[in-house]
Each structure stands twice: as structure tokens, then as C-alpha cells.
Amino acid sequence: MKAIVQDTYGSADVLALREIEQPEVGEDEVRIRVAAAGVDRGAWHLMTGVPYLMRILGVGLRAPKARVPGTKAAGYVDAVGAGVTRFQLGDAVYGTCRGAFAEYACAREDQFAPKPVEMTFEQAAGVPHGGFAALQALRDHGKVRPGQRVLIVGASGAVGSMAVQLAKAFDADVTGVCSTSKVDMVTALGADRVIDYTNDDFLDGTRYDLILDVGGSSPLSRLRRALTPKGTLVIVGGEGGGSWTGIGRQLRALVLSPFVSQKLCTFVAKEKAQDLLVLNEHIEAGRITPTVGRAYPLSDTPDAVRDLESGQTRGRIVVTV
């Protein structure tokens, strides 16, 4: 099969299209014929090997153990293991896997969910990364409730755009923060108010019950001033945290939280097919519409990663196979 392969850590230049063997399906696994794969910050971190703590934790010290990158995909079931009971050949599915930037990829059956008819494969490939993080940030850690004021910093990205729609589905009053060129996009997602951070400041006197800081860099002190006295801050992702751990602000938040009236927290999103089923309900009801910014053919995966690095694309970036 054709696949994107990397033999070392580095920039998008280390990614190369090659012919390799198809993955063998395990007893409790499903193999899919990949139609589309999501390009996200997780894929970028695994490509670069930064933060370095990841290498120590098992992704490979000097070179990546997983030679085919990509962990989010959508496609048709091509083979099933002897222990698989939830899927059969030809089913349209999406979820998390190993080696998504390839013609075929494998994962345990509990990492996939049926693809809603309403979604294209390109849309589906972009759902898991943003969907898991947004849903768990709002529901599990933010404990969002109807009528609460919610501020989403980074509202135009993969996680933020999903968080805006989910927060509205939870009947919250939503304010999104983004750049000038993406104000119309965040407004179209359903935000009640949009702040263009190049011209305005979210520290305008409004206090929020819940703040989701998605890949931002605002100091904890600024974010806390925008919170109500009993409000909750959820830091989503590890961007801007340095090359070694990637979680400098997150650690400071966890240390400070027990000593203040506000709840300051962070988390690592869990990849659960059960949460994909929850997202499916919202998608099928029309409360969430996954947005695709640009799709690249498999051979142009390095360009897709460079596009991600630029931060200029509106909506999710995917690779089509």
C-alpha cells in the first residue's frame, strides 16, 4: 500500500510517500480502507518529537517508533478480526487508529464508531481530535450548565470550533475569541458574541462562569480576572508550554487551584468510541456541523502539515486517500 513514512523527527520535510506492507488485522481489531485522515496538532507533535517529554514516555527517543504518522481516520471496513462483533465488511466508520496517513489502517473495534450518513468522510476524519477535547472539556471538566457564560479562547481552531457548537448545544451563552479573518466563521458556528483579539480584549469587565483556553498563551492571572469568583478555567492542549514538557501553564494552574476559590484545571483527552456516539447524536440532530478548511491528497501530506503550522486555514485540515 501507499503510505506516508518518517524515519526521524523533524519538520514536514521528513515525511515521504512510500510503498509498504499493509497492516495485519489483530483478533479484536478492524482494518479500514482509509478515505480521509485528520491532520491535527497531535500529528505535528509526533512528527517533530516536541515536547521532548513524549520521547521519554515511549514514542521513541531518537526516532519515532510509529513510522507511519496520523491517528484520526475515516473509511470503509476492509477486514475484521475473529473477535470483532460491532462491525462488518463495508461499514463506513471513523475514529482513532495508528498509521492513518496511508491507504489502510488498523485499530481496536472500540476505537471506531459508525459514520453518520450526514457526514462526508472528510468531515468525519476531522471530528475525533476536536470532538473528544471539546466534549470532555465542557462536560467532564467544565461541568457546563444551561445559561452559563462561556468564553472560548481559540474559537476558530479544530477544538474551539467544536466547543462553540457544543456549548450552544448545552444552552450556554457563548463568547468566542479569534482573529479578524475568522470572526464571520465563529459567528456562523453560533457564538452569541465574538471578540477579535487583534482589536479588542476579553478583559472588558465581563465575567465568565467557564473559560476554555484552547492552545492560548494568556497568563493565568489574566484568565482568572475574566472568571467569576467561583468560575472554572479549563486549559485545553499543551501549546506554548516549552520544548521540554509543553505544559508549563497547566502545571502552574494545578498547583494554584487548591488555594483559590476558582477551579483551574487541565486534562488529556481520552479517545473513547462512546464519546463519538455522543457526538454522532449532536451531528445527526444538526447541532454540530464539522467544518473542513482544506483537503490534500495523500502525496501532499507534507503541505497539509505546513498549512496546519501556519494557523491560517479556516476549519479542519484533512488528507484524502
| DSSP annotation string for 210-252 | EEEEES----HHHHHHTEEEEEEEEEES-TTSTTTTS-HHHHH
| DSSP annotation string for 18-82 | EE-PPPPP-TTEEEEEEEEEEE-HHHHHHHHT-STHHIIIII-SSS-S-SS---EEEEEEEEE-T
228 conformational bin, left if phi > 0, alpha if psi -120 to 50, beta if neither: beta
Q: What is the pLDDT of residue 224?
A: 97
Give the whole-angstrom CA distance, residue 112 versus residue 189.
26
Give the whole-angstrom CA distance, residue 187 versus residue 224.
25
What percentage of the chain carries pLDDT values higher than 70? Answer: 96
- Residues 198 and 230 placed together within one structural domain of the fold: yes
207 confidence band (pLDDT: 50, 70, 90): very high
**pLDDT tens-place string over residues 226-264:** 999 999 999 997 555 555 545 678 888 989 999 999 999
Q: Any idea what the CATH number is for the domain that residue 95 is in?
A: 3.90.180.10
Give the whole-angstrom CA distance, residue 165 versus residue 220.
25
Give the whole-angstrom CA distance, residue 68 versus residue 220.
37
Q: What is the pLDDT of residue 41?
A: 83
- Residues 108 and 59 placed together within one structural domain of the fold: yes
Helix, strand, coil percent content, the chain, rounded in steps of 5: 35, 30, 40
30 confidence band (pLDDT: 50, 70, 90): very high
Q: Chain centroid to CA 195: how far?
A: 22
The pTM of this model reads: 0.91
Q: What is the pLDDT of residue 198?
A: 92
Phi, psi of 179, rounded to the nearest 5 degrees: -85, 170
Least confident of 14-18, 170-174, 243-247, 281-285: 243-247
**Domain boundaries, position 218:** 129-267
Report the Cα–Cα distance between both ends of the chain, in Å, rounded.
11
- Residues 255 and 136 placed together within one structural domain of the fold: yes
Q: What is the pLDDT of residue 243?
A: 55
- Residues 261 and 139 placed together within one structural domain of the fold: yes
Q: What is the mean pLDDT of residues 8-18?
A: 94
- Residues 76 and 174 placed together within one structural domain of the fold: no
pLDDT at 313 over 90: no
Give the whole-angstrom CA distance, residue 195 versus residue 202.
7
| Domain-embedded: residue 278 | no
**pLDDT tens-place string over residues 125-161:** 999 989 999 999 999 999 999 999 999 999 998 899 9
**pLDDT tens-place string over residues 41-99:** 878 888 888 767 777 766 777 878 889 999 999 999 999 999 999 999 999 999 999 99
Number of domains the chain contains: 2
Q: Any idea what the CATH number is for the domain that residue 253 is in?
A: 3.40.50.720
What SS3 class is residue 318? Answer: strand
| Domain-embedded: residue 280 | no
Across the chain, mean pLDDT equals 92
| Domain-embedded: residue 121 | yes
pLDDT at 190 over 70: yes
| Domain-embedded: residue 277 | no
Q: What is the pLDDT of residue 65?
A: 83
Q: What are 36's three cell numbers?
A: 480521509
